Amino acid sequence: MSDLKAGQAAPDFELPDQTGAQVRLSQFRGQAAVVLFFYPKDDTTGCTIEACTFRDEMPRFDAMGAKIIGVSSDSSESHARFAGKYDLPFSLLSDKGGRVRKMYGATGLLMGLIPGRVTYVIDREGVIRHVFSSQTAFRGHIEEALRALPKA
């Protein structure tokens, strides 16, 4: 479950991606909508389905001018292996300690013991336009984001 709702400003943050480069959410402001998805763990069944479905739908996201960013607590090295194994063409950010996950309220199940699977569609001005939370509807995150983007 997410604490943030549509209409609220997306909290800014900076985290390293799979190459070690720092990515700041605000760097996209005024340039692109962002689909920010929090997922539990690299290279697990559900997370692989979700990430590969985002990959497969990249032409549709590109056509809408949206950037895809994944976030989990895995290391940049783990993200690099995951992205390389599945040819993932988007940034995977390492949120060691879950600081950004907590900031967004994407803490998940069992009092945060199982990291949440939550997707935020953020417009070009940095406002959250849609939130979708489901631990098991892996492909639903992509479908919901694609439906919400024209409004973002």
Contacts of 147 (CB under 8 A, 6+ apart): 130
Edge-first strand order for the sheet with 91-94 is 91-94, 66-72, 33-38, 118-122, 128-133
What tokens appear for 18 in the block? Answer: 């799979």
Q: Of 23, 32, 35, 47, which residue is the catalytic one?
A: 47
Query: Is 47 an annotated catalytic residue?
Result: yes
Which residues touch 92 (CB under 8 Å, ≥6 apart)? 17, 18, 42, 51, 69, 70, 71, 72, 74, 79, 82, 83
- Alpha-carbon span 16 to 61, nearest angstrom: 23
* Tokens 């069992």, located at residue: 110
> Which amino acids are annotated catalytic?
47
